[in-house]
Structure 1
């Protein structure tokens, strides 16, 4: 297609923090199945992660040995039986430094591997979604906002990448730390381990209470943040309209109210979140006091050594931390599951059938189109086009007219097979459109729509989009035929002038002429024109009309008409009302009938007169 409807619309706000998946286990299973291609790297990452954690866990025991060696040396020196063996202490500390260095290196490697996996997953998911979009039926996009679809590619995959990168490694290291530390604590003292474990239920109870209260405020915070962002985007996007209607005070008041709600929810969520660490530290300190008392008694009784108390206190710190991390990972995994659920939900959507067996391929398409007793309804129970037939010959101009919502665009969608008819058939050059591959069929059509679509690039590149292998001379010839060459040469840079992202550095009429030049360059045998002169001045309208006349020469054309005065010379006029073709014929025939078309034409003429 030479031109297509543009406009991104407002981007969706994406998945809110704290949102849960409808089916957590099913979502995670799909994600793990998708990640099977990385299983070797994943296993390698797990080995490095576990090894790094084990070496890190071993550290406090060795440090305890150094403490014991120093303590025994001090006791021997006081008793006059010996002194501190600094050589042995140095060897222990040197070994400890090497152990921590090895642990850090392994941790770096596992982080590097996991970052690569998460980036590859997000890259391939974006690639799969991008390819999937082109295979989706039009009705999918018509039933959803552009932002909702784009949020799958942006917000959801970003969430998936970040949470996957953080949660997987943290879960592995936390579980390994929890198990490893518990074993090391048991080796030192069963009694002190029992006392330390008793702290866990208290910690978990506090965590659950704080999380229960804070979760709703975090959800409210994200909701109101989305509302604030939406209001700011709308207000800035329509700033001129706001000022024209003197609504500055109204929008400011609305913004302040929403911003106040955001402030309150953010304050409460951060307050509860900030409470967690001090309370956990308080509970932990109580545990340290208990361990110090019991440990001191065991040292006196000779059950353990002094250095082991130090090791045990370090292990307690390492024991409570994984519990908090696992709680955080649980929330992150909920985010991962919710994001992956939305992504895979899109990837599993039913696709538009792209190919057929033994497809028709036209070598020299002529542009003959016939509608044979077609009927259609978006809902099969509500048919909006009833038993319509028409013959359109090569080079004819067909106008489709009617009030807003009459179904003019529906006919175009059926012709290009964005939807299939319920009954009857539409044929191009005698072949049913359902016997074409969709891609081959749509290559027969060029489109110039009311909403122009141009991209950030040079004018030459934008016109060449209609035929990517066109030479500069062919592009310029198309621009001349579209009456665009003269204004292009007056622009700074001419054909090499770069259109900005909003294409706001040229006028609406100039944009339309460029899209017509693109359609001329594409040289499609059948054209679909959504008359786009209603938003330009009379002089520009005349220019565009001349360009469109050049475009339609020798081509079968379907014109969705808004100004009936521009389609008087059409070979066939289809008059639609409430989805039905109620009249068809040329201008003179329809005026002679003095029916709906004549009333519509006379009312427009009266207004312009």
Structure 2
């Protein structure tokens, strides 16, 4: 990765500090291939039998023609000048080739349908599984590395399933058929011709481990390339703001060069198969000509062979090295598929850290009473986020969490949604330990609004409806009106049917935040979590939202995380956090009278405003 194509060292070759994919060193085994083939099972009674039958018909035709040409056309029809037999033979061979054409047409059609269905199922399974993984999984992996596995690694299996499996069977049947026919025609010439095969396979096996590792390295570099592209595109505004286009291009050159060199290395090693097969073909041809000519001159009566047998051997020899060549290419394809499948199965074998128990409790009517009992939590072994937190958030209360960055506010919100499980202690809602609750029933009754609002590609209507797909258009509009988003939406060209791109680039930060409010409120949750949700909204808009929230939050438990303390004055209970501990709690007036940490935070914030 550090060298460019010109040999120049990239100045930013060590920029990746997040976890990147590493090579997976596992022995090549057929158990993994068998696991991969399980995705073919649903189609084993539909497309697969037809494809196999078509393959067998095509193979039988191909094996029959050389025998007919050598033993019938030459040794009988031509030598005996039997024109009728020769004419019938030509017509018969023509019919066989038509049959071969029809069989190949159906084989290609059926294997492609089968392969595309298998790839669809595999990608769907992988994506569905990744969606159920815990936040810790995404904390240690870049978006680019995940994209590589769902897109590139699955795509690399496409050729294996669309052509590879049936071609493998066809080539193996062809090889076995050719060997049987050769030994029937002339055992001594067959032994002489195929003696080079063991040597070829011995040499080829020496390349296997190196080729497999090389394709693993290609996948790793491809993952890094995708990660950097994803990062660069999303951060393009920052790059241009700091005039770092040249630096970014230099770094990309290093990453791109790493992928370039790894692919070239893998391609070189894979390409070694073809010359090996060509060499074997050349040696076999020399043996056929030399020893075959000797056997013809020897004569059939003295243990030799007829001219037709020699011609059949020449046909079969050309056919013999062709499937061997394809098997060599197939093995390369198989190695690539194994490298990709290892990475796919690594994700599929990943289990959520937040696990759902069998017969877990399902919330049907959540009241929203939250309790933390001696909760400890660490994101990793070296960083403690919460230290024996015990607190209570009563049903229908508006709760505020305040404190400096890193004090544990967002961690508490994450534990309530059960994105993580506490290291020690328990988090309960309505008396139920969240580890005993079904995740969907929990999260469907909690709406979270973050400072960094994510808008999906689609219409405004679809974005608001995201949290509750069965909501009517009227309910969507009503939710937008409550949070004050209706006015700006109607000013857009197509109103609620205006198309927005990824992350809502045509909208201002405040407008995106208003949409996220409407989305959260439409879901009709029992608990609402606002994590710095008003940070991107101007003062005038915030006043409107505060009025709307008073009506909407009535009767719901709401948790507000805010640095702007002016937004939480009317909270029923304010928890002041520092270094993962609760220093004090109470309403605004109580905390101000205590003249403790909260009083200091309010005072320092107002002093900053006065200074401005």
* Normalised-by-shorter TM-score class: 0.7 to 0.9
RMSD: 3.6
* Aligned position for 2:106: 109
Tell me, in whole angstroms, the C-alpha distance in 1 between the residues paired with 2:405 and 2:459.
Answer: 35
* Aligned position for 2:36: 31
- Is residue 158 from structure 1 mapped to residue 163 from structure 2 by the alignment? no
Distance 1:265 1:438, change over 3 A: closer
Tell me, in whole angstroms, the C-alpha distance in 2 between the residues paired with 1:104 and 1:146.
Answer: 46
The residue correspondences of 1:347-386 to structure 2 (distance < 5 A) are: 347-350=348-351, 352-354=354-356, 357=359, 359=361, 361-363=363-365, 365-377=366-378, 384-386=385-387
The TM-score, its normalising length taken from structure 1, stands at 0.83
Secondary structure of the structure 2 residue equivalent to 1:465: helix
* Aligned position for 2:248: 251
Q: Single out whichever of 284-293 and 125-134 deviates more from structure 2.
A: 125-134
Residue 340 (structure 1) shift = 3.5
* Aligned position for 2:184: 187
Equivalent of 1:66 in 66, 73, 97: 73
Residue 473 (structure 1) shift = 2.8
Residue 27 (structure 1) shift = 1.5
Unaligned runs of 5+ in 1: 1-10, 74-83
Tell me, in whole angstroms, the C-alpha distance in 2 between the residues paired with 1:232 and 1:275.
Answer: 33
Tell me, in whole angstroms, the C-alpha distance in 2 between the residues paired with 1:384 and 1:265.
Answer: 41
Would the aligned equivalents of 1:400 and 1:573 in 2 still touch at CA under 8 Å? yes
* Aligned position for 2:579: 578
Deviations 1:134-189 (A, max 9, x none): 54444444344444444443333323343233331222122112211112222232
Tell me, in whole angstroms, the C-alpha distance in 2 between the residues paired with 1:219 and 1:112.
Answer: 31
Tell me, in whole angstroms, the C-alpha distance in 2 between the residues paired with 1:532 and 1:226.
Answer: 33
Secondary structure of the structure 1 residue equivalent to 2:448: strand
Would the aligned equivalents of 2:385 and 2:407 in 1 still touch at CA under 8 Å? no
The residue correspondences of 1:498-513 to structure 2 (distance < 5 A) are: 498-513=499-514
Residue 573 (structure 1) shift = 1.2
Residue 382 (structure 1) shift = 8.1
* Aligned position for 1:412: 413
Residue 559 (structure 1) shift = 0.6
Secondary structure of the structure 2 residue equivalent to 1:505: coil
Deviations 1:292-351 (A, max 9, x none): 233233223322222322221121122222222223323333333343444444444445
Residue 508 (structure 1) shift = 1.5
Distance 1:213 1:319, change over 3 A: same
* Aligned position for 1:4: none
Would the aligned equivalents of 2:399 and 2:574 in 1 still touch at CA under 8 Å? yes
The residue correspondences of 1:447-596 to structure 2 (distance < 5 A) are: 447-596=448-597
Tell me, in whole angstroms, the C-alpha distance in 1 between the residues paired with 2:255 and 2:416.
Answer: 47
The residue correspondences of 1:339-354 to structure 2 (distance < 5 A) are: 339-350=340-351, 352-354=354-356
Distance 1:264 1:115, change over 3 A: closer
Residue 130 (structure 1) shift = 4.4
Distance 1:374 1:286, change over 3 A: closer
Secondary structure of the structure 2 residue equivalent to 1:169: helix
Tell me, in whole angstroms, the C-alpha distance in 1 between the residues paired with 2:574 and 2:342.
Answer: 48
Distance 1:583 1:128, change over 3 A: same
Residue 115 (structure 1) shift = 3.1
Residue 509 (structure 1) shift = 0.9
Secondary structure of the structure 2 residue equivalent to 1:489: helix
Distance 1:30 1:305, change over 3 A: same
Residue 117 (structure 1) shift = 3.4
Would the aligned equivalents of 1:385 and 1:581 in 2 still touch at CA under 8 Å? no
Residue 528 (structure 1) shift = 0.6
Equivalent of 2:61 in 36, 55, 58: 55
Distance 1:344 1:43, change over 3 A: farther
Q: Single out whichever of 327-336 and 351-360 deviates more from structure 2.
A: 351-360
Kindly indicate whether structure 1 or structure 2 has the higher relative contact order, using CA contacts under 8 Å at least 6 residues apart.
Answer: 1
Deviations 1:7-39 (A, max 9, x none): xxxx999899xx765563332233345544444
Tell me, in whole angstroms, the C-alpha distance in 2 between the residues paired with 1:224 and 1:135.
Answer: 27
Q: How many residues are aligned here? A: 586
Would the aligned equivalents of 1:159 and 1:339 in 2 still touch at CA under 8 Å? yes
Secondary structure of the structure 1 residue equivalent to 2:173: helix
Distance 1:25 1:282, change over 3 A: closer
Structure 1 runs (4+) deviating above 6 angstroms are 11-16, 209-217, 379-383
